[in-house]
Chains A and B, each alone.
Chain A
Amino acid sequence: MSGLIAVIAPWFHLLATQLPATAPQGSNSVAARAAIGGLFSIHILIAGLISGAAELGPAIEWLGYMRQRPRYDRLAHGLGRFITVYFSFSSFIAILLITVLLVGLWGHFWTTMVTIAWWPLFIEAWSFVLQVVLAYLWYYTWDPLRSFKGVHMALGGLLAIASFIQVYMIDIVASYMLTPTNPTNPIRLVLNPTSYPLTLHRTVGNLAYIGFAFGGFCAIKFLRAKTAEDKAFYDWAGSFGLIWGVAMTLLQPIIGYSYAKEIQLHTYGSWYKMMRGSLSTVFLWQMTLLGIMFLTATFYFARRLRTNEARGAGLLKLMAAGMVLTTLLAAMPYHLAFTLDQVQAAGLDRPFWQGGLINPLGAMIPWKVLALMTYTLIAIAAVVWYLRGLPGVVWGSARRGEQRLLMVMTVLTMAMIVTMAYIRENGRAPDLIAGQMQIQGQQNIQEPHPSPAPASTP
């Protein structure tokens, strides 16, 4: 980690020296966009883990207390250690983001945003303080408060709440940029059309992400473990992380769809760009990636049960086959060109069997929606079947292949997060704040315009 800092820091120093002494307003080149995009991706990847861990850790501790299982406690404790160790790294990135990039390269935008969302950012800052205090308190009072588990779990609950507030506050800012509302009305600002679809999407996403992440981490630890006790623990924890991750991920399609619906109703231009415009191929990749994630998980479930010849492995393999078919459906492109506009401009707006460039099977409605529903249903069935088979599993007996699947899962999740961040942040372009500020030169748009629908189609 310190190596990473050592690699990144000089670059930022270089960037910082490039800052103009005055008037930061015009200074955004491709490099500035790439810098903020890259750093934000790293930030999201780390911060998502930390808030996920701060919300899931206490939940696992509570679960362990309810069921009187020490391994849950050990897992929660491990998550606590992760938070305390990586918090500093996360803060480092955040400070870099604010000082160098936002203040320096995107000064006008940042001043505007701070003016508009002063209170959310203020609460955000305080929730950081709260989170730091609670995270360290929660981790370091683990043993001292062992006989006062209730008090300790309450601390954990507060930590989870602080983390949630943090995510919500920054999502107000992020969602405002896509679906701005009247900024002088604080209620409209806090409850702007996409603020809580986004918060829900991210909170559930962070919870899934931490599950997949510690799943992969435990897979590595399992392969290196020496004692039988450690092997059993990491085997179990990896499996638990995956179940948890899948359970959360399968909630995402419906949240994401509602989120996209809000974007369609409030910033039609961005929605059009994501679904039919230049981002539609990235979106297609996202749909496919989701299928691959579910497929990998189902495959793990089937293999893990088969290793111990527990019941249900056969049916899970069938579900994996179902996931393959569903992914194939979800991966179908609608327009066989980069954007729908190109197809329409070329006059090839008809099905491919009539010589056009349209593939009706790739339509969002109903085929992709159907695929999303099928993902969800199969995933639920897979989780249930896996849990039914679990009593037949002997922890510690996992094979290499399953652990590799867990590691692949972590990588896939990270790819998913970066993909989604890319879509959302580029959906606004060329606007920085939809209808209010442009990326180019951070120019305010004089007559704020909601993006209208393209010229009426016949």
Chain B
Amino acid sequence: MRRWLGSAYNWLDERSAIRSLLRKGLYEAVPVKGAWFYTLGSATLVLIILQLITGIFLTLLYVPSVKEAWESLDYIKEHDAFGSIVRGIHLWSAYILLFMIGLHMVRTFFSGSYKRPRELNWVTGVGLLVLVLGMAITGAFLPWDQAAYWTAVVVTNIPAYTPVIGSFIRALWRGGDVVGPITLVRTFGIHIWLLPAILFPLIGAHLALLRKHGEFGSYVNYRGAYRTREGVEVPPAPQQRRIEPPYPATPSDELWAAPLETEDFYPHQTFKDGVVSAALVLLVFILAVTIGAPLEATADPATTSYTPVPQWFYLPLDQLLVVVPKQLIPLVLVLPAGGVLLLLALPFIDRGPERNPFERPAVMVPGAFAVLFMVILTLLGSGRLFNL
């Protein structure tokens, strides 16, 4: 049996070079220090794949039509226990994914991992964040219950405050002046085709760049491994570096990205990644079974008793809508748009070699305030989650 398998493997390898591919994939040298923090990225990937799988299976039953969207989901809720779990997994893994992607980003930001030569890792990561947020918000429209309908109304109305072309953008998304049948179908198309079609190639690019530069961006892997502009300090010899240099990726790099201690990606890092991902998937599963995905009453534009509650992940934006007076509403658009632009520009603004978060206040302090303001706005807005 074993021999038979071995020869089959050889047969395959001769025709596909799978052996060297696996070697390259599994036995990369990764740093020992900070390894648990590096699991945030893989956990994000696992949750996105969870989204893909459950999403595909949900399309086997869901009907994207104002008449039947709610009814098809109500059918799942009433008659299909496993379907409810699949829907629950889709929802809860999305929620946890948003949280993890935020943590991953904060980690990268504070540890200075976005610095040369990893600028494009960061840029693709920002792109992924925006796309995942887009997926989350378009996904929230689809059940066409009260929550979904009013989310659709408010969210499609926000771009209307863009000067000059605002109402045009709103009408384009809605497929008319008001939210209606066309809005739902369009949003469904965006959710299952348009955004994933950009998202998955971008994930590929993100991973390819990660492998190209190695997982050594974090400042913990830079300690004691300096090469200043004068070329005075020489890094201590790495002990277990096995896979070929060059770290740094380019010889002109002012700081060496040289982890003092490395180990193989497989099975050391994969073990940690696996533990974290399995714990999260288990959490998603438990939440899906116990709480599941809610489905409120079907959409009713004539309601005067329903209080629309924003999805938690755009609470900061929604709370801004509460506090920003009418003359300044376009600001609510400028802030997120400007925020994304600033994020994209970050590695090109903060170009110094210093990676220790305490030593670069000019970037860390505004960043910390941005995070703090998001948290505070979320807390202030969260009263509406409890319908107070």
Contacts and interface: CB of A to CB of B under 8 A. Distances in A.
A258 B327 contact: no
A366 interface: yes
A366 B324 CA distance: 9
Given A196-B379, A255-B380, A258-B322, A187 B327 contact: no
A8 to B, nearest CB: 37
B386 A261 contact: no
B358 interface: yes
Contacts of B361: 384, 387-388, 390
B275 to A, nearest CB: 23
B365 A366 contact: no
A449 interface: no
Nearest to A190: B386
Interface in A376-407: 380, 383-384, 387-388, 390
A255 B376 contact: yes
Contacts of A193: 383, 388
B383 A196 contact: yes
Interface stretch (B6-14, B22-30, B261-269, B366-374): B366-374
B326 interface: yes
B271 to A, nearest CB: 25
Contacts of A251: 372-373, 376
A449 B64 CA distance: 47
| Main SS class of interface, B | helix
A369 interface: yes
A257 interface: yes
B365 A383 contact: yes
The residue in A192, A258, A262, A370 that gathers the most chain B C-beta atoms within 10 A of its C-beta is A258
Given A196-B379, A200-B379, A365 B325 contact: yes
Contacts, number: 67
Nearest to A384: B365
B380 A200 contact: yes
A98 to B, nearest CB: 29
Interface string A186-204: 0110011100110010000
A197 B328 contact: no
A419 to B, nearest CB: 22
A248 to B, nearest CB: 10
Contact of B323 (A191, A196, A261, A384): A261
Contacts of A192: 388
A258 B319 contact: yes
A200 B375 CA distance: 11
B324 to A, nearest CB: 8
Contacts of A250: 369
B377 interface: yes
B362 interface: yes
Contacts of A387: 361-362, 365
Given A197-B380, A200-B376, A365-B327, A384 B386 contact: no
A226 interface: no
A434 to B, nearest CB: 15
Interface in B311-361: 319, 322-328, 358, 361
Contacts of B386: 187, 191
A67 interface: yes
Contacts of A23: none
Contacts of A67: 358
Interface in A149-196: 181, 187-188, 191-193, 196
Contacts of B383: 191, 193, 196-197, 262
The 3 closest A-B pairs by CB, nearest first: A387-B361, A365-B325, A366-B327
Interface of B: 319, 322-328, 358, 361-362, 365-366, 369, 372-373, 376-377, 379-380, 382-383, 386, 388
